[in-house]
Structure 1
Amino acid sequence: MRHLAAFMLSCLAATSSAVAETCPMAPDHSARLDALIVEIQRAPTEAQARQISNQMWEFWADAPNEQSQAILDRGMSKRAAWDLLGALEDFNRLVAYCPDYAEGYNQRAFVNFLRQDFAMALVDLDRALTLSPRHVAAMSGKALSLMALGRTDEASLILDEALELNPWLPERNLAAPGGPLERKGQDI
């Protein structure tokens, strides 16, 4: 009887945790992000562009619920403290819990980039961009990862796409004349 009660309690716990483990859809900030892209394209100074970019980050980092937000925030704090393995564990947990949340993949890609696992970073960046095609930071990260892998032609194309959306990206210097991602064979 005691084993039956324990079995039933474990089944009940598994069922309730499965329900609790369902991640809702991420908030749809696409209209506001599109407006911010227009604003940043018109920004007259780098300082103003940086403020707009910070607003974009607020939307990208708005997780689907409190649980996913806590995992994201914890992972980002660990990454900032260079606890890359701890951050990777958190972002793995976030991606497993919220497989349709682009920022989980983008953050895990950033950790893999810092770990110099550029191929793995690309896998996550591709997924992030599938979920959020105008995620400028993921585009920039993809260009940097491709560049690190020596795939400079692809990196240059992706960076050009990112710069069309945000001409103030810090990585813009990579595409400038003489930069490693300068487009060769094109008149300026």
Structure 2
Amino acid sequence: MRILCLLPLILPLTAFADCPPSPERSVRHAELMELVAEAPNEMVARGYTNELWGIWATAPDETAQEILDRGMNQRASYNFAGALKDFDTLIAYCPDYAEGYNQRAFVNFIRQDYKTALADLNRAVELTPDHIGAIVGRALALIELGQVREGQIALRRALLLNPWLPERNRVTPLPETEENDVETDL
């Protein structure tokens, strides 16, 4: 088991088998998306969201899972350089796995590199259009970059998916438009 954990560090990426495709959207994932959108309160929504995070953070195979877990542990230990290296490795290995991009974006957001974070968040949302965490991250990165209107639209999109997000208090009137024009922007 220990050798398996060290393989990503020892072998070049070309030694890995190809990353399998990410699983199709599961029935439970679809159910959770409906449940969180209709949750009666924040506590109930949080439970559904935690289960969604479990789905999003389940990598396509064991190798990818080990790299993801190691990167998340590095980030939790404030070893951002190590975390970025792991997420770079994960993305190179599994370029169609949204959570690799989302986690790398999270590290760059913490480092206040919003432009780099936004590029990864855009890719994560492209791969998993209902990834609430990536949509919220994208909204916050846009706002930090001064693209307030686009950020507010993205935040409203996330709130359509989960109206109980903690970031709901960040909603402000949209610049340069009437509030009732939002639906056409979503």
Q: Which runs of 4+ in 1 moved over 6 A?
A: none
User: Which residue is 1:80 aligned to?
Assistant: 76
Gaps of 5+ in 1: 1-13, 176-180
- Match for 2:139 among 136, 143, 150? 143
- Match for 1:182 among 140, 157, 173? 173
- If the length of structure 1 is used for normalisation, what is the TM-score? 0.84
- If the length of structure 2 is used for normalisation, what is the TM-score? 0.85
Name the count of aligned residue pairs.
Answer: 168
- Match for 1:171 among 145, 155, 167? 167
User: Which residue is 1:6 aligned to?
Assistant: none
Aligned-CA RMSD value: 1.8
User: Which residue is 1:9 aligned to?
Assistant: none
Percent of paired sites with the same residue: 50
**By how many angstroms is 1:28 displaced?**
2.1
Q: State the SS of the aligned residue for 1:25.
A: coil
User: Which residue is 2:155 aligned to?
Assistant: 159
1:50-103 Cα distance to aligned partner (Å, 9 max, x none): 100000001000101000000000101111111111100000000000000000
1:116-135 Cα distance to aligned partner (Å, 9 max, x none): 11000111011111111111
For 2:16 and 2:148, how far apart are their aligned partners in 1?
A: 44
User: Which residue is 1:42 aligned to?
Assistant: 38
For 1:162 and 1:27, how far apart are their aligned partners in 2?
A: 23
1:112–1:121 CA contact under 8 A, matched in 2: yes
Gaps of 5+ in 2: 1-10, 181-186
User: Which residue is 2:50 aligned to?
Assistant: 54
**By how many angstroms is 1:167 displaced?**
0.6
**By how many angstroms is 1:30 displaced?**
4.5
Change in CA separation of 1:29 and 1:141 when aligned onto 2, cut-off 3 Å: same
For 1:133 and 1:71, how far apart are their aligned partners in 2?
A: 23
